[in-house]
Structure 1
Amino acid sequence: MFPADVIVGGVKDGQTYFKDYHTTAHAPPTVDQSQDWFLIAGKETASGTILTFVRKLNTCDTADDIVITADTTRVIFSYHPDDVTSGIPYHGATRRGAKSVMLLSSSLTADDVQLPSDIVTFDFLADNYHVPSDTTTYACKTFQLPALGSKHHMIKYEPIITPGNELNVHHMVIFRCPKHVLNHYEFRCDNYTNTPKEVADCMIMSFIAWAVGGKTFYYPPDVGFSLGTDADPDFFIMETHYDNPLARSDIVDSSGIRITMTPTLRTHDAGLFLFGMSVSSMHVIPPMETDFLSKVICSSKLLEKAIPAEGIKAFAILQHSHLLGKEMATRLYRNGSELKPLAVDKHYDFNYQDMRYLSEERTIYPTDTLELNCVYDSSHKRNITLGGLSTHDEMCEAFILYYPRMPIDYCSSFPLYNTITNDVAHIYSQVKSWDWADPAVRAKFRSAVENSLYYQHTFGDTYAFMANTTSKDNSAAHPYIEPPDTQCQHISGSTQDRK
């Protein structure tokens, strides 16, 4: 359990014991000099021991405590059958566990939302799909929304996962089609060349994005996604990514997503904006790197073509990468300076991805620039990793929920590696044979990415809105600096004062 902020506690003979520890190595924890966790209650029942305790988010005890942030937090736990009042014996190989959580999640729950009485639901579900024994499968299925008769707002969506398949259904994206489609299809969509031509235009306009670990999502009380009008989609494709690392051939799945709609309209029509690296061999991650940074840029030259002068309001975000993903951040620039990022996750977990509310709505103006940072740990790899659909390929994407809806659905970019080659389409063939074990080679590639021009491309409904530009990354000029925690500036060194 290293590095970790640790609590050891229990109940013995009706008396609660409780103490604040920390770890300094892969060894038994050490008692904190400053006891900053405080016990509220403890009891022992027939089913186990229950402890309730509290701590400041930032105790200012930087030597021993970890600051609690809005990042993904890895909670680890262990327990022992005997009371531990002196010394800490090993808990055993089976009495332990770990879970990623959002300790500061601001997501709405059923207790926060009063749904209207006139709701209707529709299910996008697989139908006893026999998952291939391939380690990665993308399966697509089309759906026709029943006639609603009038404008409705989608105000909620929730995953429905076939019991036993929780770890195999990795993510689902529902795309909306810009036109009515006559036929229905089920097809493998690992390779976009397999997509029927009639629905090819559908695979760029996202409607719902869900990933493993995600829960039910409720739209804010004044926002909904418009359905039911002549201008709204009624034909959809659900893309399901199955992760099958054991290459099983016995997985049968009927998972999907249920949407909840209402004719009781809300004030604003929502949109979903997909912002990411081109999913292709132009996304290159070198091996043997602990913190390799890939950037995605969507500049004001593109945003100004679609965002209204008063801006759009972003209220939630889902950041997505694959197995090498370590950190992610969606950054915002205005007038040459970086503002507070929309979202930062320094502890990205491939198996815990959720649409997360922003702590406050953020306005994005047409003169702003968006940047997505994906940090990868490829230290265990010996060959380069490319962008792609497989779990073992990589992605760098952010799905941003916002209002009011604008005509841009997607903005992608990729580095042109212009200091390496003029033939960017064949960048992989240029670098695949490099001696990546040589630190100088890896430094050369990092420099090429850092100094690269970026090609950027946006599009919207039926490709009616398309634009592209090429620009250089200027984000380092005036980076955002997190303000210091003022409560820690006046803390003296004494234990009592720190409390």
Structure 2
Amino acid sequence: MSCALFFRLFMFLALIAPSLGNRLGLTSRLRFSRFLDPSNVVFLRWDIDLKAEIITFELQVRTAGWVGLGIKNRYTNVGSDLVVGGVLPDGNVYFSDQHLVDDDTLEEDRSQDAELQGLTEDAGYTTMRFSRPFRSCDPHDLDITSDTVRVLAAFGLDDTLKLDRERTFVKSIFLLQVVHPDDLDYPEDTIIHDLEITEFLIPEDDTTYACTFLPLPIVNKKHHIYKFEPKLIYHNETMVHHILVYACGNASVLPKGISDCYGADPAFSLCSQVIVGWAVGGTSYQFPDDVGISIGTPLDPQWIRLEIHYSNFHNLPGVYDSSGIRVYYSSQLRKYDMGVLQLGFFTFPIHFIPPGAESFMSYGLCKTDKFEEMNGVPFPDIQVYGYLLHTHLAGRALQAVQYRNGTQLRTICKDDSYDFNLQETRDLPSRVEIKPGDELLVECHYQTLDRDSMTFGGPSTINEMCLVFLFYYPRNNISSCMGYPDIIYVAHELGEEASDSMEGIMAINNVEWTPESIKKAEKACKEAQQMVIIKTIDEVVENTTGWIPDITPPPRGPCLESSGGKVEPQDKTPAGFRAAPMALSGSSIATLKRLPLATFLLVQGTLSWLLAMLQPGN
């Protein structure tokens, strides 16, 4: 009897052993990391498998309680998905894929789409590592896309699964990064050079654009700049909105000193070809190993315009700043010289966005058929490898779409969840070829429910912009290609009289804005003829016209069928689904099996009974 019971106990333990305190090693390196809270208590590591469409997270929190990580939408926590786990006092682990049914209540998903790779608690930290598909077939799981993702993290001081706002954090992150700086070459002969404003007294104004002209590093042969990063003064970093470095044509006659970029002296707005740029939330950026900014040859610019946008909303007096851009350059040459092409809506004076708009779209068209003529030499196909998106506070989404021979070819880049506080240079997953004659369209999505007056395009943060900067090679002389609608046509469609552009924009300011008139204005702006302005590095300007083509949204790919729980028929999306790979995480580590807390109690009770039966006399 005892032998039979012992054998059954052994088999039972073999079956449930992975569920009872099995600690998996967290060994493979995850390339990306970020603190998610101001106190640096919640630390996230992650990595992606683009081919399998799987992302792996590792959350480490200074707590002995439960931890949770998930995704939320822009406006509310309700509907957010949250993967939770922890280690019980007896060493057993619990782990579950859940979602928020309201601000405080969690409910377990019917389909468990997160695969646990490890859960440990030691040295005052709880560490949870798991993987999940970019897009699962569970409607409670939010997709992970190339958009900005609002990552939700939470934890408790014990194993009672209850949300506390003081221990819940949201951080905007671009998760689908394809390049890490550690994966790139760092030349041994690297030289560092700072392009900066020195001891500039920031005016007591809401918005200031300060510009100065500086020489690029003086070298006796060709070098390549391969990396840049912002140089910010600690107490002033919240006042610096963006920093741009523009290459100057060598024929330019440049003013001296520091002045308003767009003020009384128009010379301070010379030089319009962006070569590097930083904006709120960005960090350093290193170019791919085969491209760089060429300096030191007769064809290269010798001077740059440094532009710093200050937002002194508290009108603080006596604040001095020495911010700028630090560049890294080397004599080890790359294969290609890179350039930057600025696209979007020509900012001033035509751009407008009505107040009280739930949604309003603006469009800026670029036609490249004049590029070769303006370039001065044959215009080669260009390869786009990175991008920077830019709007101000009303911006909600942006995209740049490519057309060839009247047919939509692809979406070059987009962000349907744009965050003003996270503006960074991003790499494309694969390079995009643009040929002469292609059309490029930028669409910007705005929301102004919190505004009761018109928002105009302009330099201030409370004004708006709609810009996309494409990083490409090989370099050419075109600096920008931007569009705006025929404002006279728009005014007439809204029932206003106007005979020129200034009258048109003044007339539009008199419109009584309702949901109907907002949609009418949006439709008129899209149907109006676009005026396209093309500019070269030497300030040569050409105009052309065109029409806004329709944008066909790309189809969503298939979702990934759960391997951790049953997918009900109603959970399968219209785009279809595909079976999960054998190992969802792509790891060689066996997946930890987990049981609900009630099952743990049942298991423990059963074990106690079996052990009692094995005692002598039973």
Q: Report if TM-score (shorter chain) is over 0.5.
A: yes
Identity of aligned residues (%): 32
| Residues 247, 537 of structure 2: 8 Å contact kept | no
Greater mean deviation of Cα atoms: 231-240 or 354-363: 231-240
Please tell me whether residue 272 in structure 1 is matched to residue 344 in structure 2. no
| CA deviation after TM superposition for structure 1 residue 405, in Å | 1.0
Instruction: Give distance in 1, aligned partners of 2:152 and 2:197.
Output: 35
> Which has more helix, going by share of residues?
2
Aligned to 2:171: 99
Please tell me whether residue 108 in structure 1 is matched to residue 183 in structure 2. no
Which amino acid letter does the alignment assign opposite residue 412 of structure 1? M
Structure 2: stretches of 5+ with no match in the other structure: 1-76, 493-497, 572-577, 585-618
| Residues 187, 194 of structure 1: 8 Å contact kept | no
Aligned length: 485
**Residue in structure 2 matching 1:76, options 138, 152, 159:** 152
Determine helix, strand or coil for the equivalent of 2:524: helix
Please tell me whether residue 54 in structure 1 is matched to residue 119 in structure 2. no
| CA deviation after TM superposition for structure 1 residue 166, in Å | 3.1
| CA deviation after TM superposition for structure 1 residue 492, in Å | 6.0
Aligned to 1:371: 441
* Offset from partner CA, 1:237-279 (integer Å, 9 cap, x none): 2111122333333543222211111122111111111112112
Instruction: Give distance in 1, aligned partners of 2:373 and 2:366.
Output: 12
Aligned to 1:33: 110
| Residues 337, 480 of structure 1: 8 Å contact kept | no
| Residues 143, 184 of structure 1: 8 Å contact kept | no
Structure 1: stretches of 5+ with no match in the other structure: none
Determine helix, strand or coil for the equivalent of 2:133: coil
Determine helix, strand or coil for the equivalent of 2:370: helix
| CA deviation after TM superposition for structure 1 residue 196, in Å | 5.5
Please tell me whether residue 314 in structure 1 is matched to residue 390 in structure 2. no
TM-score (norm 2): 0.74
Greater mean deviation of Cα atoms: 123-132 or 220-229: 123-132
| Residues 330, 372 of structure 1: 8 Å contact kept | yes
| Residues 355, 452 of structure 2: 8 Å contact kept | yes
* Offset from partner CA, 1:432-489 (integer Å, 9 cap, x none): 12211x333223312211211110010112224x32111221235xx25325327569
Instruction: Give distance in 2, aligned partners of 1:29 and 1:473.
Output: 45
| Residues 304, 367 of structure 1: 8 Å contact kept | no
Which amino acid letter does the alignment assign opposite residue 129 of structure 2? T
Determine helix, strand or coil for the equivalent of 1:274: strand
> How much is the aligned-residue C-alpha RMSD, in angstroms?
2.5
After superposition, residues 267-306 of structure 1 pair within 5 angstroms as 267-303=335-371, 305=373
Determine helix, strand or coil for the equivalent of 1:148: coil
Aligned to 1:166: 237
Which has the higher Rg, Structure 1 or Structure 2? 2
Instruction: Give distance in 2, aligned partners of 1:195 and 1:156.
Output: 32
* Offset from partner CA, 1:96-131 (integer Å, 9 cap, x none): 22211111112331x112222222221012323332
Which amino acid letter does the alignment assign opposite residue 248 of structure 1? L
Which amino acid letter does the alignment assign opposite residue 162 of structure 1? I
**Residue in structure 2 matching 1:326, options 396, 404, 407:** 396
After superposition, residues 474-485 of structure 1 pair within 5 angstroms as 474-476=549-551, 479-482=552-555, 484-485=557-558
Aligned to 1:445: 521
Which amino acid letter does the alignment assign opposite residue 373 of structure 1? E
Instruction: Give distance in 1, aligned partners of 2:300 and 2:208.
Output: 30
Q: 1:309 to 1:391 in 2, by over 3 A?
A: closer
* Offset from partner CA, 1:197-235 (integer Å, 9 cap, x none): 3x5432x12121111111211111111111111221121
Aligned to 2:322: 254
Please tell me whether residue 24 in structure 1 is matched to residue 101 in structure 2. yes
| CA deviation after TM superposition for structure 1 residue 169, in Å | 1.7
* Offset from partner CA, 1:265-315 (integer Å, 9 cap, x none): 111111111112112130010111122100110024334545856511000
**Residue in structure 2 matching 1:468, options 530, 534, 543:** 543
| Residues 136, 560 of structure 2: 8 Å contact kept | no
